[in-house]
Amino acid sequence: MVSLQPQLTQSKTAFDFHREGNKWVKKKNYEKAKMSFASAICLEEKNPEYHFSMGEVFYKTRNFEQADRHLTKTIEINSEFFGARELFEKVRKKLGKSTELESKNET
């Protein structure tokens, strides 16, 4: 099993890691893509594109719980992020969960 610990170096930016992750996705090497996306997220946690990309990879590898986590984060950061709501709803249906976001302010 491959560790998802971020591979941070001084010379790479979050954008570099995200671009690298997309290259791994095109090659269908999802484990390496996850590592790259994890590094991008570590550097820029509030970037919805990085969470969306990670959510897509988890969806493709059928890890719906983790896909749900990252897609939820995407929508929390940017509720209008293109494609996030549709993939979120697909994941939620796979999990048998409501397609509504839970409020973080519940008591």
Residues 74-107 have pLDDT tens digits of: 999 999 999 999 999 999 999 999 998 876 544 3
In this prediction, residue 48 has a pLDDT band, given cuts at 50, 70 and 90, of very high
Residue 18 has pLDDT above 90, yes or no: yes
DSSP calls for 83-102 = THHHHHHHHHHHHT--SSPP
| Residues 50 and 14 sit within 8 Å (Cβ to Cβ) | yes
Amino acid, res. 81: F
pTM of the model: 0.85
pLDDT (0 to 100) of residue 102: 73
| Residues 40 and 21 sit within 8 Å (Cβ to Cβ) | yes
pLDDT (0 to 100) of residue 107: 39
pLDDT average, residue stretch 19-42: 98
Residue 19 has pLDDT above 80, yes or no: yes
pLDDT (0 to 100) of residue 11: 85
- Each residue of 50-63: pLDDT tens digit? 999 999 999 999 99
